[in-house]
Copies of this chain bind each other. A is one copy, B any other.
Amino acid sequence: MNNTSEKTIGRLSLYRRLLQQLQTDDKTNVFSHEIARLSGATAAQVRRDFMAIGYSGSSAHGYDVKQLAESIAGFLDAPKSQNVALVGVGHLGQAILTYFSGRRPKLTIVAAFDANPTKAERIINGCRCYPMTDFTTEVHNQNIEVGIITVPGSEAQSVCDTMVRAGIRGIVNFAPATLQTPPDVHVEVLDMAVSLEKAAYFARAE
């Protein structure tokens, strides 16, 4: 669609969260260095990221909080809302369903799936659970574009393959497994084991 870098997309998502806080604080203007301090980015990165989405500030007042938030939303959000499916209704899957329940109106987990049919036919935080055999049908019926994988590592690649065959092009993977996907499928890796090991390493290394 365009060539905005992956890092910029991630930071824009962070900036939007900060701006929501600033809006509730009735702050109308904000400077790049303020956003930098709150987000961990540098002021130059912040300004470059805003330039990337075509939003300009003024040298007198910095950036208009409300307009900037709308500009980021217009860039990050799809024109109409996007639907998400979660596969693997274990502890972690249920925690994620709870976490995202009603959090973002444009991005909704509309269905959860599990290989174990006894976990289906439940409703968790307003999200209906289906047996995995219904996956492809529901992805098409509910126009699902994004998948979240919270199954054990041994099943992750198989679930991933099913998602890709169903047409999903964006995947968030919590499973401890490296997924093999076609180049047009984007995988976000949230590997808790790797992160914990890194934190432990740097806890004594630094």
Interface residues of A, Cβ cutoff 8 Å to B: 1-2, 6, 9-10, 13-14, 17-18, 38-40, 76, 78, 82, 84, 90-92, 94-96, 98-100, 103-104, 107, 145-146, 148, 168-172, 176, 178, 184-188, 190-206
Q: In the assembled complex, how far is the CB of residue A4 from the closest CB belonging to chain B, in whole angstroms?
A: 8
CB < 8 Å neighbour of A204 from B40, B82, B193, B203: B82
In-complex Cβ contact of A193 among B17, B146, B191, B200 (8 A): B17
Contact A10 B95 (CB under 8 A): no
Query: A2 — which chain B residues lie within 8 A by C-beta?
Result: 205
Residues of B within 8 A of A170 (CB): 198-204
- Point out the residue from B95, B186, B206 that lies within 8 Å of A169, measured CB to CB: B206
- B197:A76 contact, CB within 8 angstroms: yes
- Greatest chain B CB density within 10 A among A40, A96, A191, A195 is at A195
Given contacts A95-B91, A99-B91, contact A1 B206 (CB under 8 A): yes
Q: Report the bound CA distance from A10 to B17 in whole Å.
A: 27
| B10 lies within 8 A of A198 (CB) | yes
